[in-house]
Amino acid sequence: MIKKRHISILLLTHNEESNLQKYWTWLDQSKTINEIIVIDDNSTDKTKEILKKLETKKIKIKIFERGLENNFSNQRNFGITKTSNNLVLWLDADEKPSKSLIRFLNHIDDLQYKNYAFKRNDVFIGHELNHGENANQYFLRFFNKKYGCFAGAVHEVWQTPNKIEYKKIHIHHYPHQSLKSFIKKINFYTDIRAQELYDQNQKSNLFQIIFYPLGKFIQDYFFKFGFLDATPGIIMALGMSFHSFLVRAKLWHLSHQ
């Protein structure tokens, strides 16, 4: 008889009331998830209240309050220590597994296990993006916690020496449902990334401040066909170019304070 494995979800939150209400209605379809480990960064809205309502007889919600302190990997590695299962799926509050991913997780057993990376499709300001920087990318999201750790202060990744299998199964991602939130997150993430580079003794100069953003725009909008996503495509390409500019400009500023 094949024994089904239990899965822990690892979730970081900070004022995610809206996202949790919209995208976390799928849990009753799961047969293998039995806990959600939440590391909450001092939410001031109804995030924790909504999370507690998601708890069922089959799925326990465990919430730990811990300040982010500008390091996502530290936050997730802390969360890993709180999981009771070896198999972990990490998601963000603005993500939703596709039906095919839920079916896949429902049939995980002792004989199947590897590290798994899934495709992610972005819905940006209400429009699905099929091209540009984030299209056709795979993200390692399902793993055994014994064999790796998270690395990177921002845009953290699971680092493991084990084999990774890439599955053409989607995670639906709903980032930046307004331009205001898009710009706000760019400013936040570039603060962390610039500090991370500064701590690694990297420097920036006028050439990088001018040409890194330009190269990023040309790559995303032309070489990766972002122009095929019409107006949302150019907004995203320009936003990612601005992200590149802010990282280099903030890094220069840190070096000249």
Alpha carbons within 13 angstroms on the beta-carbon side of residue 58 total 9
The average pLDDT across 191-216 equals: 97
Out of 3-12, 109-118, 119-128, 201-210, least confident range: 109-118
Q: The dihedral of CA 140, 141, 144, 149: what is its sign?
A: positive
Q: What is the pLDDT of residues 171-195, one digit of tens each?
A: 999 999 899 999 999 999 999 999 9
- How far apart CA 100 and CA 94 sit, in angstroms, is 18
Which backbone phi and psi does 201 adopt, to 5 degrees? Answer: 65, 25
The structural domains of the chain, with segments of one domain joined by +, span: 7-173, 179-255
Give the pLDDT band of residue 222 (cuts 50, 70, 90): very high
pLDDT at res. 177: 87
CATH of domain 7-173: 3.90.550.10
Supply the pLDDT for residue 134: 84
Q: Check residue 1 and give its pLDDT.
A: 43
Nearest to 148 by CA among 55, 202, 86: 86
Contact between 31 and 59 (Cβ < 8 Å): no
pTM of the model: 0.92
Q: What integer pLDDT is reported at residue 5 of this predicted model?
A: 86
d(CA 175, CA 126): 9
Q: 38: which 2 tokens?
A: 């939440």
